Amino acid sequence: MISSICKCGKIVALERKVCPYCGKTMNSVEHGNVAEILTYTKLFTVPEGFKSPIFLTLVKLENGAKLLCECKNENDLEIDRKGKVIFEKEKYYFVSTKK
Amino acid sequence: MAGVYISGIGITKFGKRKESLQTLMYESYAQATESQESNFDAVFVGCMNPDEFVGDSNFATLIVDHLGLYQTPSVRIDNAPASGSAAFEQAYFSIASGHYQKVLVLAGEKMSNLSTGETTRILSKLIDKYERSTGATMPALAALVTRRYMHDYGLSREELAQAAVKNHYNGTLNPYAQFQKEITIDDVLKSKMISDPLRLYDCASISDGACAAILTSKKTDVKVSGIGHATDFLSLQYRDSLTSFNATKIAAKRAYDMAKKSPKDIDVAEVHDAFTILEIVNPEDLGFFKPGEGAAALIDGKTGLSGDLPINTSGGLKARGHPVGATGLAQICEIVWQLRGEAGKRQVPANIGLCHNIGGFVNNNIVTILESC
Ligand SMILES: [Zn+2]
């Protein structure tokens, strides 16, 4: 997993050159993929080119940054559910570690 | 700084309209200029996306040509669904600076030419590119906020539905509203699921419509006393809170400071209820209620027509309809009617009113305070 970190103390998920909080240059950092669900939705009316439904979740990564991604399994959609983020076919997915 | 006042206002009926966007704007303009001289120092046109929705660009020129305002300076303001209030804001500055004395603001959108799929695609472009790549739509982002708010504050699905029920009731009293029919909580809960937990009746409709307002340095009975504007991160991922919006809080503080008012001075408000959850969160962010108390205020009738602080007397985006570029100016028209005592069956006692218009997914917000004088 890659996040971007700024001297101002802010960390955002994925690669980003300019800090959205203060405008300074950010540096990339690699870190683990542990994550936890902050919120979620099952999206039925999807944009053209997508297959319905999409299980969307906003997760908190282990470094505190947030990431919007798909959830692999509908049954994992629960606030505070712990798991990890995996990268597959150009997309990030949340997978629960709890069975 | 010169004082800025509102004279004429005009609005078309919102909904699916067969007329062109310029014809709708002309209709609102004719209403606003009734029995007045129609020459202006400038024209400010709020419209989000005429290029894609109706296939016209250079729309500011098109409209002065269509209205017969030959040689008048004209500019189009695109500020996403806050284009109407942004055009009003720029018009305000043009008079406050002393450069102009009398200007026309027009705002409108015509969305019904396209299919729902195409419209959804255009509206999804308001979202950050990475977030959009996940398939996220505007209702999906609102659903993420709703789910978290329900978790943090114990908001029930039925309480949320009450926002749509209240605004549809108000819409029955507004002859310009797209929907003039009461609905029940059951109607909301049985409507099509869009993005769980939000259903069709939780979302503002696709609509056509236009509004007009004349701003002047000459004193009238309605003064523009405060305008506040603030942005937030494009991406939801960067926001600190999922149940409150900084762009509203900061824009509101700037408007209150400029008008030398506080939330308790406001008698009536139009807030941007593009989704039912926003009818609950916006009044909290505007300082009317504490965090987590927006739903109780709604259920207790505080924000109803006979409550202490009526909200969305027009029916809001939900029932009046949401032609994106028109909405901000439609809110201003409603507050002007309320302050003038011209709101008919939905009239409430009011001397000071507030409008809250959102651009993007709650990240480019404008708060305007109007006052009787
Ligand atoms: Zn920074």
Q: Identify whether B153 is part of a domain.
A: no
Report the CATH number of the A32-99 domain. Answer: 2.40.50.840
Is the complex ipTM higher than 0.90? yes
Q: Is residue B140 part of a domain?
A: no
Look at residue B231 in the predicted model and tell me its pLDDT: 98
Q: Count Cβ neighbours within 10 Å for each residue of B231-254 and write b for 16 or more, e otherwise.
A: ebbbbbbbbeebbbbbbbbbbbeb
CA of residue B258 to ligand 1 center, whole Å: 30
Range of the domain at B83: 5-115+207-216
Measured between CA atoms, how close is B345 to chain A, in angstroms?
Answer: 37
> pTM score, two decimals?
0.97
Instruction: Calculate the CA dihedral of residues B184, B188, B191, B194 and round it to 10 degrees.
Output: 170
Q: Which chain B residue lies closest to A91 (C-alpha atoms)?
A: B134
Question: How many interchain CB pairs under 8 A, A with B?
Answer: 95
Would you state the pLDDT for residue B37? 74
Which residue is it, tokens 């809110």? Answer: B331
Q: Give the model confidence (pLDDT) of A60-84 as tens digits.
A: 999 999 999 999 999 999 999 999 9
Q: What average pLDDT does chain A have? A: 95
Pick A56's closest partner by Cβ from B124, B130, B140.
B140
CATH number of the domain that residue B66 is part of: 3.40.47.10
User: Which segments of chain B does DSSP mark as H helices, in order?
Assistant: 21-32, 50-53, 59-67, 83-96, 116-124, 129-133, 138-153, 157-171, 185-190, 246-259, 276-285, 294-299, 316-320, 327-340
The residue ranges of every structural domain in chain A are 1-30, 32-99
- Is B74 within the bounds of a domain? yes
Q: Which of B117, B144, B193 sits opposite A48 (nearest CB)?
A: B117
Q: Token pair for residue B355?
A: 């409008």
| A21 Cα–ligand 1 center, Å | 5
Residues of A in contact with B140 (CB under 8 A): 41, 43, 54, 56
Distance in Å, alpha carbon of A42 to nearest chain B alpha carbon? 5
pLDDT of residue A99: 59
How many independent structural domains does chain B possess? 1
In a domain, residue B110? The reply is yes
In this predicted model, what pLDDT tens digit does every residue of B64-89 receive, in sequence order?
999 999 999 999 999 999 999 999 99
A4 CA distance to ligand 1 middle (Å): 10
Among B121, B238, B242, beta carbon nearest to A39: B242
